[in-house]
Amino acid sequence: MTSRESAGSLDDGDVDATHEPVRVDPVDPSPREPFLVTLGERVRSLRARKGMTRRSLALASSVSERHLANLELGLGNASIMVLRQVAGALECLPADLLGEDIDSPEWLLIRDLLRGRDDQDLRRARTALGELFGTSEKPEARKQRIALIGLRGAGKSTLGRRLADDLGVPFVELNREIERVAGYGLTEIHNLLGPAAYRRYERRALEESVRLYPEAVIATPGGIVSDPATFNLLLSHCFTVWLKATPADHMQRVVAQGDTRPMAGNNEAMEDLRRILAGRAAFYRKADLTFDTSGKTLDDSFRQLGADLSLALALPIGRGSGDMQ
């Protein structure tokens, strides 16, 4: 059993973020260029957040695994440095030389207003823009849908079903909606159509769920935060709750569900899981509410989560029993 199979089973059908061994160019003993080191770290972080292996990124980008490995180690192609030098001389960002919005004065002015703002200011700006352009629902309507985010094993499915039963609203397992929309199982979507197709079906399934269910509890795939457009749609139309847990609890609960694959490569799977959590934590924290299920029974989690939601939403929540999954 490979670490790819092990870690993949922890992420609700998403592809995983393992690092396959691959030959890289010898590292020059002289100090590496900080810009290239930072670039490599950003590539690794983005890849982990999207749950992609280096091999899957190589296939998607038509770039060799060897070149990607060098890039992630801070040994990027010198042309990157040339691009940076030209951007510096033009007093713009390297992305400006590659993007399509350089001719829009309004975009440049808006971006300048946002540059340097902290997360709280940026969140206010995003919310205001959503209300301005009608992409966000009014707060009271948004609170009628509770969306649970986080990795597999945090309790999204079991807590979600109990919340839905308690509130008398539909429970929506978004993975099942993705399969319905695509006409394939999750494994077939990834193996036959690729991660880009999966993200398209994920967005379409969420759009349909929002349209069909004005009131619902929605359990989302762990990697839904990887696509900004889809995650923004979720934040705009649902009251989001991050169900977090320790990596050890995630692993234990997945195995308790009958999936023993992670144990085949436990050390590597745990490291992959920590990397994915680290890459996604900043996005999970954008949820309206964070609730830690570690070290709690399902009954305790349900009661405490119900109390937190009751305060936030002014809804009476908190009955039932069962096992955490």
The per-residue pLDDT for range 45-101, each reduced to its tens digit, is 878 877 778 888 888 888 888 888 888 888 867 677 766 776 776 666 777 666 555
Is the model's pLDDT at 301 over the cut of 80?
yes
What's the pLDDT band for 41 if we cut at 50, 70, 90? confident
pLDDT recorded at residue 267: 64
CB atoms within 10 A of CB 92: 14
Average pLDDT score over residue span 135-144: 84
Is the model's pLDDT at 30 over the cut of 80?
no
**DSSP structure string for 152-218:** TTSSHHHHHHHHHHHHT--EEEHHHHHHHHHTS-HHHIIIII-HHHHHHHHHHHHHHHHHH-SSEEE
What tokens appear for 131 in the block?
A: 């209300």
Buried b (16+ CB within 10 A) or exposed e, 264-298: ebeebbbbbbebbbebbeebbebbbbbbbbeebeb
Counting every residue, how long is the chain? Answer: 325
What's the pLDDT band for 178 if we cut at 50, 70, 90? very high
pLDDT recorded at residue 220: 97
DSSP 226: G
Is the model's pLDDT at 18 over the cut of 50?
no
pLDDT recorded at residue 153: 83
pLDDT recorded at residue 159: 95
**Residue with the larger pLDDT of the pair 25 and 49:** 49
DSSP 150: S
pLDDT recorded at residue 83: 66
Please state, in angstroms and rounded to a whole number, the distance separating the CA atoms of residues 224 and 46. Answer: 13
pLDDT recorded at residue 235: 93
Most confident of 24-28, 102-106, 138-142, 172-176: 172-176
Structural domains in the chain?
A: 3-79 (1.10.260), 138-313 (3.40.50.300)
Task: Provide the whole-model pTM.
Answer: 0.73
pLDDT recorded at residue 97: 62
Is the model's pLDDT at 193 over the cut of 80?
yes
pLDDT recorded at residue 250: 80
User: Which residue's entry shows tokens 């609960």?
Assistant: 253
Is the model's pLDDT at 260 over the cut of 60?
no
What's the pLDDT band for 240 if we cut at 50, 70, 90? very high
What's the pLDDT band for 320 if we cut at 50, 70, 90? very low
The per-residue pLDDT for range 265-292, each reduced to its tens digit, is 556 777 878 888 888 888 999 999 999 9
Lowest mean pLDDT among 20-29, 41-50, 289-298, 308-317: 20-29
Is the model's pLDDT at 25 over the cut of 60?
no
Which phi and psi angles does 145 have, rounded to 5°? Answer: -115, 125
Mean pLDDT score of the chain, rounded to an integer?
Answer: 80
